[in-house]
């Protein structure tokens, strides 16, 4: 096969040498949390439909959601909802043309990650103690 002259062109980033950035990782997380929230929504709708149908239909979803595993899923969902909401607000801010410079976008990413954990903690405190 003839050698193709490739010159000194940059290679596209390969997954093994790709350095994750706050901008790309927070963007990927927005998609993951958005899709995970669909699963949470289905679980909660299953629980509500069960409650409206009768004791037998309610027993299963209620047992799952009120188990330790259900607590874990709901806590993760609270974080996902806060994270996804803050990321959505970030999109609104970006739509106004602000915070688009790379260093500002990176700082914004750190703010939404930190904010999502703080808000999750506050939500857990409110639900457990209030
Ligand atoms: C339970 C509530 C929510 C669910 C189930 C949900 C679900 C989703 C899904 C499935 C996606 C697309 C992900 C993909 O492309 O793979 C998405 C994207 C998005 N959501 Fe949500 N979402 C919810 C709440 C919100 C809220 C409250 C906001 C705004 C404050 C928001 C703003 C956005 C934005 C801006 C995108 C596009 C992100 C991008 O293009 O990178 N979402 N959401």
**pLDDT tens across 12-37, in order?**
777 777 888 999 999 999 999 999 99
Q: Does residue 100 carry a pLDDT above 90?
A: yes
Residue 14 is assigned to a ligand binding site: no
- With H, G, I as helix, E, B as strand and everything else as coil, classify residue 11: coil
Q: Is the pTM of this model over 0.85?
A: yes
Q: Which residue has the tokens 């093994």?
A: 16
Question: How many angstroms separate the alpha carbon of residue 58 from the centre of ligand 1?
Answer: 29
Q: Counting beta carbons within 10 angstroms of the beta carbon of residue 97, is it exposed (0 to 12), middle (13 to 18) or buried (19 or more)?
A: exposed
Q: Is any ligand 1 atom within 6 A of the Cβ of residue 38?
A: yes
pLDDT for residue 115 is more than 90: yes
Rounded to a whole number, what is the distance in angstroms from the first to the last CA of the chain?
Answer: 73
Contact 86, 110 (CB under 8 A): no
Decide: 90 in ligand 1 pocket, CB within 6 A.
no
Statement: residue 74 has pLDDT above 90: yes
Hey, whose CA ends up nearest to atom 20 of ligand 1?
A: 88
Residue-range domains of the chain with CATH = 22-129 (1.20.1300.10)
Per-residue pLDDT band at 10 (split at 50, 70, 90): confident
Give the Cα separation of 41 and 38 in Å (integer): 5
Cα angle 36, 37, 41 (rounded to 5 degrees) comes to 125
């Amino acid at each position: 096969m003839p050698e193709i002259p490739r010159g000194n062109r940059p290679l596209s980033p390969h997954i093994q040498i790709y350095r994750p950035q706050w901008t790309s990782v927070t963007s990927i997380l927005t998609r993951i949390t958005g899709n995970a929230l669909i699963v949470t929504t289905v679980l909660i709708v299953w629980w509500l439909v069960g409650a409206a149908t009768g004791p037998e239909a309610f027993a299963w979803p209620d047992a799952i959601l009120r188990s330790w595993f259900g607590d874990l899923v709901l806590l993760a969902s609270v974080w996902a909802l806060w994270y996804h909401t803050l990321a959505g607000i970030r999109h609104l801010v970006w739509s106004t043309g602000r915070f688009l410079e790379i260093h500002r976008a990176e700082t914004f990413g750190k703010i939404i990650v930190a904010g999502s954990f703080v808000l999750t903690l506050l939500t857990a405190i409110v639900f457990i103690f209030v």
